[in-house]
Structure 1
């Protein structure tokens, strides 16, 4: 018995020593402790800084290097933060880093398997991304086609604003900008996915917005506490966020299943698919369909489309108007440009965009200010590889920090200032090379078309 205890103690000691040992040439970062890695340091900074992007910013002050990245270990997960633009660009073009996280957090959100489009990789990602983009273009998901959908929603929004003004006396009104665009952005997406739009006052849209609010509150693509410490979901399911995560997804999937079933009952009545759901259902009937098509995949794709497109667009629009309220001179210049170039008697059209460089610069700056506090979808090393001269072991999570890319003073002088003029030179748009809020290449976010046009 004595020797068994000694042997077991030696094994535990060896494990603890192995658990804190960093791989050779791993990026610099905080000290690792057994079991938790550097989670305790991150938790302390989270209490001090609040937003996780500011935690990453704070760590960068101590551990960033000329190569623009540093390494963490949270629980059992090795994480590398790509901070500078050049490092993020190298990360995006390194095929060894084309994987997506494969832990319990990412599988549980899509029926305990890798499904959808946001956190899938390899053949599944290539096949489904190609199918989705090809068919969505038929329903408006192109730069020109999107304009028609957005114009339609803009007309409803203007009418709703007139009603609000009339209800408050007919001359001026107080309007909450925080949630103003949510319904219209959701309708823009939902029209392509399910040929449906909701009235702002309907009970159904109220319930749906509540579900999505809960979902966005409980979903962080960087991961939750139980994703880095899976065992904790059994010990503290509420504290770890596990229960809220499961319940919010269950409610969304119940709604989506109901809509898929409605389409299943009616899509055969039409010669051509009405929307993305119809396209998937028709593919189910194809005897030569690919191996990745299933109802669960369709549900996961719908969820991912909402996550990719709705929140970013809604928040960026809200940010734009918030900054124009705080800077009325910007609002006045934008209105003057609109009056001069297209007038006030019609909605803008696609061809008007080149005539409105100042208005577009406001959009660019609003997107920068919002996306500068976010992260890209995490990537995973498919095999041992190199990034900016450092070794990235297989299965390491690599995350692009947009704060380092979009809020640095080198590429964007005085980055905390809302300054549309930074994109203009001699009255024409000049976008900095570092401006890549939606990524680039084959990893460019599918929500780019909605986000940049809305």
Structure 2
């Protein structure tokens, strides 16, 4: 009898193994059929079933990996991440064709579950179609009304510099991390536009918000986010840093919602104090088919806050670091500022044309800092030909800005900090066409004009008033930390007042 049961058990065991083997083979075969490269699709690295190239690429330096892969597969290549195909564009010609010449066909944002779970298709950054156009049009017109990118915003930026300078002086030349002070300063400029007020550097709640935002940015570009976007149904129920990211964005949502409620309590339709007031007024006038509603307002405010603070903050952190690394360049900038402006007043945007070397240094910081190495992803909204290949509708497009900003055909010394990249033989400022840190085309950075103004006024003001150096015995390191933006690893500097 025992032998009979043993035989039955053996048969059942082998049936289960056969079923398991059949299931695995079926899944692999189905995956191959569903996700094989379509005819005319760009070439790229070999991909595993289910996961694609997720585990074979270094995601801490993926921008450099993509640039290297372009040397093997061409300026337009494809890579599979989980259940999605990405098409990566490299070098200026490919980006120009896709984002400018055929920009109308590459004007959408991809459907990223981690973003959609937060914004639900609202706001101005990851919205598409008529909804996006309505939000963007209103945002730009309203921000221009409050001086966005105009000379009238100069006093706000310079006043914030004074607050930040006071914070820097409080350390009395001792080493400190400038990250949150400069982040607070830059964030206060956009806060003035959207919230109608600035936040003190001692405001614990606002400092917590800035800290959480920084953490969320790192998570958003991490391997966990990639897993989430590839397998959202599974990842929504699994623990990990991606859950921390979702919790952070919920707290951010609550912060903005609280600001909106405070505005509603003190709101006077006849007096428009900031972006929130204008949006509330527009909601009252909106037609039934309008997307202007309170939930869109909350997402738009945070989109603008991020677009107007993160990249500029990161650029200024690189600026301080590179000035400590190249003190001779810092001295040359200071000499030009002293000659043109002196010490009797703060800079103005009108000074820019007379400060070509300073302007060149700012642009070189942006170039070599490579703040948004892969830009913000796009998506095809119709079938399109790019680089001789056929890209179907709905495919995610990655504009690899790194391949442009470090292209040896575009820059004399692409891997060396060299302000001469932006100066002609007569020492006058020139901007090469390949300088595209804000990307190009229809989805070009919404906050570019504000960022350019902030960078010039803040950098010039800091160079006019302070000298930056590393603590004794410490050498500056330009190692980066990969996230949504590419920022330097945490560092401390010493700041001394030049007047002294």
What TM-score, normalized to structure 2? 0.82
In the alignment, what sits opposite 1:233?
235
Structure 1 distance, partners of 2:236, 2:276, is 36
2:20 is the alignment partner of 1:19 = no
Task: Identify unmatched segments of 5+ residues in structure 2.
Answer: 1-14, 455-500
Instruction: Find the residue that maps to 1:81 and give its secondary structure.
Output: strand
Aligned to 1:405: 404
Contact 1:380 1:397 in 2 (8 A): yes
Provide the residue aligned with 2:297 in structure 1: 298
Q: Distance in 1 between the 2:197 and 2:383 partners?
A: 46
The 5 A counterparts of 1:288-437 are: 288=287, 291-371=290-370, 374-425=373-424, 426-437=426-437
1:117–1:301: 8 Å Cα contact kept in structure 2? yes
Distance 1:336 1:226, change over 3 A: same
Q: How does 1:5-16 map to 2 (within 5 A)?
A: 12=27, 14-16=29-31
Call closer, same or farther: CA 1:233–1:346 in 2, change over 3 Å: same
> Match of 1:443, SS?
coil
Q: Residue 329 and residue 237 in structure 1: after superposition, are their counterparts in 2 closer, same or farther (change >3 A)?
A: same
Per the alignment, in what secondary structure is the counterpart of residue 141 of structure 1? coil
Higher alpha-carbon deviation: 97-106 or 13-22 = 13-22
| Contact 2:144/2:150 (8 A) holds in 1 | no
Going from structure 1 to structure 2, the CA distance change for 1:19 and 1:442 (only over 3 Å counts) comes to closer
Distance 1:265 1:41, change over 3 A: same
Q: Is the 8 A contact 2:108 2:379 kept in 1?
A: yes
Cross-structure match for 1:252:
252
Distance change (3 Å), C-alpha of 1:277 and 1:18:
same
Is the 2:404–2:434 contact (alpha carbons within 8 Å) kept by the matching residues of 1?
A: yes
Mean alpha-carbon deviation: is it higher for 331-340 or for 136-145? Answer: 136-145
Residue of structure 1 equivalent to 2:93: 86
The structure number with the bigger radius of gyration is 2
Partner SS state of residue 80, structure 1: strand
**Does the C-alpha gap of structure 1 residues 197 and 294 become closer, same or farther in structure 2, counting only changes over 3 Å?**
same
Q: Which residue of 1 aligns with 2:480?
A: none
Q: How big is the shift at 1:122?
A: 1.3
Alpha-carbon separation, structure 2, partners of 1:367 and 1:69: 25
The 2-side partners of 1:121 and 1:39 are apart by 27
Is the CA contact (8 Å cut-off) linking 2:90 and 2:400 kept in structure 1? yes
1:77: which partner in 2?
84
Distance 2:167 2:47 in 1: 54
Q: Distance in 2 between matches of 1:361 and 1:244?
A: 40
User: 5+ residue gaps in structure 1?
Assistant: 166-171
What's the CA shift string for 1:63-120, capped at 9, x where partnerless? Answer: 2x2xx1210111111100111111111111221211111242231121xx21111111
Give, in angstroms, the shift of residue 30 of structure 1: 0.8
What residue is the counterpart of 1:143 in the other structure? 150
Secondary structure at 1:442's aligned position in 2?
coil
Aligned-pair CA distance for 1:145: 2.9
Please name the residue that 1:169 is paired with. Answer: none
Number of paired residues? 434
- Partner residue, 1:39: 54
Aligned-CA RMSD value: 2.4
Q: Does 1:57 align with 2:67?
A: yes
CA shift digits 1:240-286 (9 cap, x unpaired): x4312210111101111110100011112x62210000011111111
Deviations 1:404-441 (A, max 9, x none): 01111211222121111210111211111111111234
Q: CA deviation at 1:148?
A: 2.4
Q: Which moved more, 1:394-403 or 1:437-446?
A: 437-446
Q: Distance in 2 between matches of 1:372 and 1:216?
A: 13
Q: Is the 8 A contact 1:119 1:377 kept in 2?
A: no
- Cα separation, 2, equivalents of 1:119 and 1:324: 35
How far, CA to CA, are the matches of 2:127 and 2:286 in structure 1? 24
Q: Give me the TM-score of the superposition, normalised by structure 1.
A: 0.90
The equivalent of 1:286 in structure 2 is 285
The match for 1:199 is 200
In structure 2, the CA distance between the partners of 1:245 and 1:158, relative to structure 1 (3 Å rule), is closer
8 Å CA contact 2:314, 2:371 repeated in 1: no
Give the secondary structure class of the aligned counterpart of 1:180: helix
Which residue of 2 is the match for residue 439 of structure 1?
A: 439
